[in-house]
Amino acid sequence: MRLNRGLIIASLGLSYMIYAVLLNSVGTVIMQSILSFSIAKQSGSILEACKDLSIATVSFVAASYLPRLGYRRSMVLAHALVGIACALMALAPSFAMTKLLFVVIGVTFALVKVSVYSSIGLLTENRQHHASLMNIIEGLFMLGVLCGYWLFGAYIDPHDPARLDWVNVYWVLVGACVLVILILLAARLDESAAKTIAPSQHGAFIDMLRLLLKPLIYAFVLSIFMYVLIEQSLGTWLPTFNREILHLPPAMSVQVASIYAGALALGRLIAGYLLRRISWYYLLNGCVIAMAALVLLVLPMAARVQLQPDVNWLNAPLVAYLLPLIGLLMAPIYPVINSVMLSTLPTERHAAMTGLIVVFSALGGTLGSFITGMVFAHIGGESAFYTTLIPMAAIIGALFVFKRESQLATAGCAID
């Protein structure tokens, strides 16, 4: 029994690490597609839409149908499909295949996220155990993000970055998918409780629409939408910014971007300590203001960077290390507002709320990448990153409304 539970948990953690690498590789793949397939920056930004719109679309129906299919079966299906897509990308690399790959990544991640979150509930007996396992899984996701930058960087030819050697990284991911499938086939998961309480086919969708009628939800959705817009625009285009604006070698451009992922992970750990002593509202406002200050301080430095030969980790421009630290400041925003939102709702509404979180997070990521890519192509990388100041200002306003409405909801006045 303990071995079986351990196998399931291992499969959940490894699944999240695989998708952390795949989902957060979009910035690296855009940069390499520009070099290897000679595409325009505007064309590259479509990859974010391929991923996020697929996640948003499938998330609307996944919560209703997956309990009937089974979470373990859903994960096996998802890893089989994404493994095949990775193999095709390695065998027949092209920009069209890249777009197909990210559509498959989006569709299958929606299946995996619902399955993983639901399986955690089946594997734990109380709130403390649930929170503990959830933090472990999310921590492994951040570890996967961090490792992904270095994994892709290792396959980029430093002498001729336009070569297609980088697509061989997908064979590693195919192997990881096969390993997860084997673990899932060897394990068993009792899903009877989920099938007993599963909603009707249209129940989750209707509940999501009902939630959208609440003023509290407007403020919450705007907050997460703007946050993800910032996070994805920076994360997606940071490797290209490093290469074109800071004149770093392509492989190093990807590896330096890993500082951003590490800063996000560290920021969430620090926030967990600070939230015991500081109001979430004041902490988040302070983070957003500090983010804006960092952008205004660092980007003018980027404009003065000159091309220098043989650049390496020791002589790279200071801005290459400072800009990714914005992740340290933005890290608490997303998990904190999600926690505050869910705590104002009765437990039976959490599934519908999670659906909204996934959908609007995906839409925010798509729009952020698209806008940044357009601005990057037309008026330069510094200007593209300056545009993040606009959603930062919107978050400040949304947080004010969100705090007021969440207090009313907690008092029983806003959400029935």
Distances (CA, A) of 106 to 56, 99, 197, 241, 358: 8, 11, 27, 25, 11
Same domain, 42 and 58: yes
Find the radius of gyration of the CA atoms of the chain: 21
Q: Is 291 exposed, middle or buried (0-12, 13-18, 19+ CB in 10 A)?
A: buried
SS3 266: helix
Where residue 362 falls among pLDDT bands split at 50, 70, 90? confident
**Over the range 212-246, which residues count as b (16 or more CB within 10 Å of their CB) and which as e?**
eebebbebbbbbbbbbbbbbbbbbbbbbbbbbbbb
pLDDT, average across residues 321-347: 79
Residues 68, 50: Cα–Cα separation, whole Å: 27
pLDDT, average across residues 228-240: 82
Structural domain boundaries enclosing 228:
199-416
Same domain, 325 and 181: no
Same domain, 110 and 208: no
What local confidence, expressed as pLDDT, does residue 413 receive? 47
What local confidence, expressed as pLDDT, does residue 177 receive? 97
Whether the predicted model's global pTM rises above the 0.75 cut: no
Same domain, 9 and 125: yes
Same domain, 163 and 184: yes
Same domain, 238 and 141: no
What local confidence, expressed as pLDDT, does residue 343 receive? 64
Q: Among 198, 219, 240, where does a domain finish?
A: 198
Nearest alpha carbon to residue 361 among 175, 227, 168: 227
Amino acid symbol at 64: S
Q: Among 166, 198, 230, where does a domain finish?
A: 198
Residues 334, 347: Cα–Cα separation, whole Å: 20
Cβ atoms < 10 Å from Cβ of 59: 26
Same domain, 109 and 223: no
Same domain, 371 and 358: yes
Same domain, 278 and 310: yes
Same domain, 93 and 215: no
- Give the CATH number, domain containing residue 410: 1.20.1250.20
Tens-digit pLDDT profile for residues 109-158: 988 887 887 777 777 775 456 555 665 776 688 788 888 888 998 898 88
What local confidence, expressed as pLDDT, does residue 102 receive? 94
Q: Among 182, 198, 214, where does a domain finish?
A: 198
Same domain, 94 and 211: no
Report the domain count for the chain.
Answer: 2
Tens-digit pLDDT profile for residues 258-292: 888 888 878 877 777 777 778 888 989 999 999 99
Tens-digit pLDDT profile for residues 363-376: 777 677 677 777 77
Torsion of Cα atoms, 274 then 276 then 278 then 280, to 10°: 90
Same domain, 239 and 323: yes
Tens-digit pLDDT profile for residues 158-215: 888 889 999 999 999 999 999 999 999 988 877 666 554 445 555 555 655 565 667 7
Q: Which residue has the tokens 């068993």?
A: 188
Contact 13, 140 (CB under 8 A): yes
